[in-house]
Amino acid sequence: MRDMSRPVSIRSRRQPPLKALAGLTLATLLLAGCNDPRPAASQPAATPPEVGYVTVVGKPLRQVRELPGRVVPLRIAEVRSRVAGLLVERNFEQGSRVQAGDLLYKIDPAPFQVELASAEATLARTEAALVLATQQADRLKELLARQAASQAQYDAAFAAQKQAEAEVAAARAARDRAKLNVAYTELRAPISGHIGRALLTEGALVEAGSGAPLATIQQLDPIYVDITQSVGELNQLRRDLANGELTRLEDGAADVQLVLDGGRLYPHPGRLLFSDVTADPGTGQVTLRVQIPNPNGELFPGMYVRARTIQGIDADAIALPAQAIHRTDDGKAEVWVIGADDKVQRQLVEVGNPIGANWLIQSGVRPGERVVIDGFQKIVAGMQVRPTRQVAEAPEATAEDSLHGGSGRTTQLR
């Protein structure tokens, strides 16, 4: 039996309730903190990304086509003999320049000189016979007037006179032909130009007319370039001119710039002379002929070139910098356009020819629209942007730029 007179400790009895109370108080405080209706401090709004842009502007632009072509001589002449004979002289340097009328070859003239002498003798004989026949006819005419000769005698004398005149004419023609044959023994340059290699040498027997040519002369300054264009493109050009989308050049002709190997531009512009009226049945193309100066002989017959021709003027052409144009996954061209609310959207465009550092835009954007050219990595479709760093307007595609196309190389679209 416990001693009731001994004080009893109550420490062990009160300690558990104190720990429980402390835990309950902490839980209550944490729960109250979670349910605190006061709002947390708000985060600052993100700043719209800055982009550079150009404003679309329509400006007059000469319509340029770059077409393949081949160089052909302005004139070409084969040196052929008109008489048959033995070739005795060659009087030119192969590959040199000759002038019209220069002596190139000489054929042995001796046989033709003999023929000329014979023809001259025949002419003299017939002329003497004509004198005698004329005198006889005149005499009988007087006798007929005095009725000392018959009409039949006079008619015979008169006919003999006319026959003698005809024989003189034939003899004179034979003499002239013999003179020509002697002259034809000297083969002279029919045109000025560059003469090629000698195809026959001294001692060869030359045939007349259809025989092999002795040499070939080509006139190379100025020179022609025959370029080809598809019938479809030519018809589209005519439709654009007819409906007013393109304007004809003032003089109806067009300057042409040649692009040589490596994209180098030929320094002398040419002129488009005409377009053929017949399409090639095999290729469906027509030929356009260009005449161009060739003072230094840089262009050779058969040489491949590309020709840039101005075929009309587009009064409201649009050109954008190359960096503004991108390609979609399926290869279509697109640009980023900034709307009135400064939000960007992708917009498909149809791209034409390169013009220097720019590209001609056929459709897809309108004058006044803003097109992004810088800051693409910061934007997505529908995002609001800050177009504060305005870039200078897209450079005007001048006639010089459109003709020469900058460096002559094609800019690769991204």
Shared domain for 212 and 94, answered yes or no, is yes
Q: Which helix (H) or strand (E) segment is 181 a member of?
A: helix 151-184
Shared domain for 341 and 374, answered yes or no, is yes
> Of 297, 313, 329, at which residue does a domain stop?
313
Shared domain for 195 and 96, answered yes or no, is yes
Shared domain for 98 and 215, answered yes or no, is yes
Q: Give the 3-state DSSP-derived string for 324-338, with helices as H, strands as E and coil as C.
A: HCEECCCCCEEEEEE
Residue 378 lies in a domain: yes
Residue 273 lies in a domain: yes
Instruction: Kindly state the average pLDDT of the residues 270-289.
Output: 77
Shared domain for 70 and 150, answered yes or no, is no
The region of weakest confidence among 43-47, 73-77, 101-105, 123-127 is 43-47
Residue 23 lies in a domain: no
Instruction: Flag whether pLDDT at 44 surpasses 50.
Output: yes
Q: Mean pLDDT over all residues of the chain?
A: 80
Q: Given this model, what pLDDT does residue 156 score?
A: 93
pLDDT in tens, 305-331: 998 877 667 778 888 998 899 999 898
SS3 219: strand
Residue ranges making up the domain that contains 192: 88-107+186-219
Domain count, the chain: 4
SS3 397: coil
Shared domain for 337 and 215, answered yes or no, is no
Tokens of 39: 């709002």
* Residue 80 falls in which region: left (phi positive, over 0), alpha (psi -120 to 50) or beta: beta
Q: Given this model, what pLDDT does residue 249 score?
A: 54
The region of weakest confidence among 121-125, 205-209, 390-394 is 390-394
Query: In this predicted model, which residue has the larger pLDDT, 399 or 157?
Result: 157
Q: Count Cα neighbours of 85 within 13 Å in the Cβ-side half-sphere.
A: 23
Q: Given this model, what pLDDT does residue 277 score?
A: 63
Q: What is the CATH number of the domain that holds 96?
A: 2.40.50.100
Residue 201 lies in a domain: yes
User: Measuring CA to CA, which residue among 239, 354, 362, 261 is closest to residue 306?
Assistant: 261
Lookup result for tokens 């493109």: 233
Q: Give 8's pLDDT tier (boundaries 50, 70, 90).
A: very low
Q: Given this model, what pLDDT does residue 390 score?
A: 60
pLDDT in tens, 145-191: 888 888 999 899 999 999 999 999 999 999 999 999 999 999 999 99
Q: What is the CATH number of the domain that holds 120?
A: 1.10.287.470
Eight-state DSSP code of residue 48: P
pLDDT in tens, 327-361: 998 989 999 999 999 999 999 999 987 877 888 89
